Every structure is written in structure tokens, then in C-alpha cells.
Amino acid sequence: MLRFLVRRTLGALVILLVISAVTFWLFYAIPRDPAMMSCGKNCTPDMLKQVRHNLGIDHPVPVQYWYWLKGIFVGRSYGDFGNCPAPCLGYSFANRQPVLGTILDRLPLTLSLAFGSAVVFIIFGVGAGMIAAVKQGKWQDKVASSGSLIASSLQIYFVGYIAMYFLVAKLGILNNPSYTPLTDNPAEWASGLLLPWLVLALIWTANYTRMSRSQLVETLSEDYVRTARAKGLSRRSVFFRFAWRGAMGPIVTIFGIDLATLIGGAIITETVFSLQGVGRLALKAVDQSDLPMVLGVTLLSASAIVVFNIIVDAVYALIDPRIRLA
């Protein structure tokens, strides 16, 4: 287990390094000068040069990357702007705020959104899939299958606005989406995020219904499930002790990756419900050619994916004794 963690962590660091370098290079591959944007309308060549210097982009790209990388480990000095202690991800080109601080400000909302809707879609999606698998071919199965097909064809910007109109504005059942930190007031935290959770979860629920149904149908036809029945075990215990166990592996795998994706930001959901999460931060950063912010958000999403992959592999080994961690 320790060896597995060490090996995978080292691998993850290499991946993140490569991702940051590629992002850096791609950013400069776009013919767009961030200095021009900060400099404003009455920009003279001298001013432009000064802005370039202030932004720290007057060095060649590899040197810039080296400074950026060094900043993460030993911090970075920005002269007049002061010092940025390690781990330093730099300052935003757009508003001169530290990148790390901005991301950490936005992260609680995004985590709340991701985990909250994940709880909803894993419970409802897998639950519906289980019912559909047990009642194969019966009306419950048909309702779940067609329902999930409809739900997965819907779009958040469609469902989201309709839900806001009816549930919030017309009927007043749910609160207007807002974010209150969990530690401030848990009740407000939940009621403010309930609508985004449900809307975001709807489409994912559909995917999980279909996936868990097909996984369960497959494992229910396994020989070892038949053996368990031949031993005299009831349908119920065979389903939960044997079939479910076999179906769980693939579901856990996909769940880990989906959750990691959500932590990277749910851009559309955040936009629809006017929530200030990581997703909108990323969108804005790209729009403003804000390299340090783009790098920061990219690293966050990439780290989420990499970390959850390691977790998934470890969990998989717990579920399936045939898998060895090494």
C-alpha cells in the first residue's frame, strides 16, 4: 500500500508538471498579448514595455516557466508588489490578486456543489439502476430506462432556468441559489445550494441509472450468482452480497472521475445560478488571457483528476481481492 502511494504520487507529480508546461506553451501559442490588454487604449511602446516587465512576461517563455515553477517551491518576489511566499502561483494579470488566494476563495463553493450533487446523483442514479435491473423488462425498468434517456438529453441551461422560474419564482418552494459557507450556517448552505444540486445531479443521475443497470444485469448473469442461488441463498441476499459487489467496481471508477471533473468547476451550472465557483473563474481567466489564473485553475482540475484516480484504484483493490496494488 505504501509503495503504491509513493509510486502513484511521484507519477502524479510528473503528470502535473507536464500539464503545466503544456498549458504554458499553449498560452503563448495563441497570438494574444496580455500586456496589450492591461495597457489600455493610449498605450505607448514604452508603457507596453513597462507593463510587460511588471507582469513578468518580458523573459523568454522557458525562463518564465522556470520562474513560475520555482515560485511554487520557494516563493517569488515581485519587486514593488511585494513578496509572494511559497507556494506561489503568481498574481492575476487582470486584477493583481494572488492566484492561490482567489482559487481558495472560490473552492468551497465548487466543492459544495460537486459533493452535494454527487450525493444526489449517486443515490438516485444507482438506486434507480438497481430497481431497473431487478425488475428487468417490467414497467419499473421501462420507466427508469426511458426516464434516464430523457433526462440525459436535457441541458442544464434549459432545466436550470425552467426550474428557477417555476420552483423559485412561481411556487417559491426552493430558495434562490446562493452560497453561504457550511461553517457559517449549515441550513442556509444546504437550502441555498439545493436547486443547483438537483439540476446538476439530474443529468448525471440519468447516466448512473443506465450504467448501474447494465452493470447489474451483467453481473446477475454471472456463474457465481447462479452458484449462490444453488446454495439456497435468497434472491435478495444474492443480489446484495454477490451481484452488487461485482457491479460496484466500474461504478466507483466512473464516479471518481466524474467527481474530479466536477471539482474542476461546473461552468454552466455556476453561470446559470450565478454562483462564483472555480468554473466561472476559469472561464473568465481564459477570456482575459490571464495566464497565472489559467495555470492555477488547470492545475486544480488536473490535481483533482489525478488524486481521484489514485483513490479509485485503492478503493477498487478493496472491492476486488484479485487486484493487487503495486
Closest separation in Å from C-beta 219 to another protein: 10
Interaction of residue 137 with another protein, rule CB under 8 A: yes
Nearest CB to another protein, comparing residues 51 and 251: 251
Could you tell me how many residues of this chain bind another protein (CB under 8 A)?
22
Closest separation in Å from C-beta 124 to another protein: 25
Interaction of residue 242 with another protein, rule CB under 8 A: yes
Distance, in Å, from the CA atom of 260 to the CA atom of 304, rounded to the nearest integer, reads 5
> Contacting another protein (CB under 8 A), which of 233, 257, 307, 314?
233
Distance, in Å, from the CA atom of 243 to the CA atom of 298, rounded to the nearest integer, reads 39
Nearest CB to another protein, comparing residues 45 and 232: 232
Interaction of residue 240 with another protein, rule CB under 8 A: no
Interaction of residue 284 with another protein, rule CB under 8 A: no
Burial of 29 (0-12, 13-18, 19+ CB in 10 A): exposed
Before 87, cis peptide (omega within 30)? yes
Closest separation in Å from C-beta 222 to another protein: 7
> Contacting another protein (CB under 8 A), which of 78, 222, 253, 257?
222
Select from 100-108, 166-174, 185-193, 240-248 the region that touches another protein (CB under 8 A). 240-248
Interaction of residue 135 with another protein, rule CB under 8 A: no
Interaction of residue 274 with another protein, rule CB under 8 A: no
C-alpha cell at 249: 467496481
> Contacting another protein (CB under 8 A), which of 29, 187, 230, 326?
230
- Applying the rule CB under 8 A, the residues between 32 and 61 that interact with another protein are none
Q: Which of 106, 15, 71, 112 is nearest to 291 (CA)?
A: 71
- The identity of residue 313, as a single letter, is D
Asked if 136 contacts 217 with a C-beta cutoff of 8 angstroms, the reply is yes
Interaction of residue 218 with another protein, rule CB under 8 A: no
Closest separation in Å from C-beta 154 to another protein: 32
Nearest CB to another protein, comparing residues 57 and 325: 325
Interaction of residue 326 with another protein, rule CB under 8 A: no
Interaction of residue 227 with another protein, rule CB under 8 A: yes
DSSP state letter for 164: I
DSSP string, 33-96: -HHHHHH-SS--HHHHHHHHHHHT-SS-HHHHHHHHHHHHHH-EE-GGG-EEPSS---B-TTT-
User: Which residues neighbour 287 within 8 Å (Cβ) at sequence distance 6 or greater?
Assistant: none
> Contacting another protein (CB under 8 A), which of 30, 184, 234, 287?
234
Asked if 57 contacts 64 with a C-beta cutoff of 8 angstroms, the reply is yes
> Contacting another protein (CB under 8 A), which of 160, 246, 256, 264?
246
Secondary structure of the chain: what % helix, strand, coil (to 5)? Answer: 75, 0, 25
**Alpha carbon of 195 to those of 120, 169, 243, 275: distances in Å?**
11, 12, 34, 12
Interaction of residue 228 with another protein, rule CB under 8 A: yes
Interaction of residue 239 with another protein, rule CB under 8 A: no
Footprint of another protein (CB under 8 A) = 137, 222-224, 226-235, 241-242, 245-246, 319-322
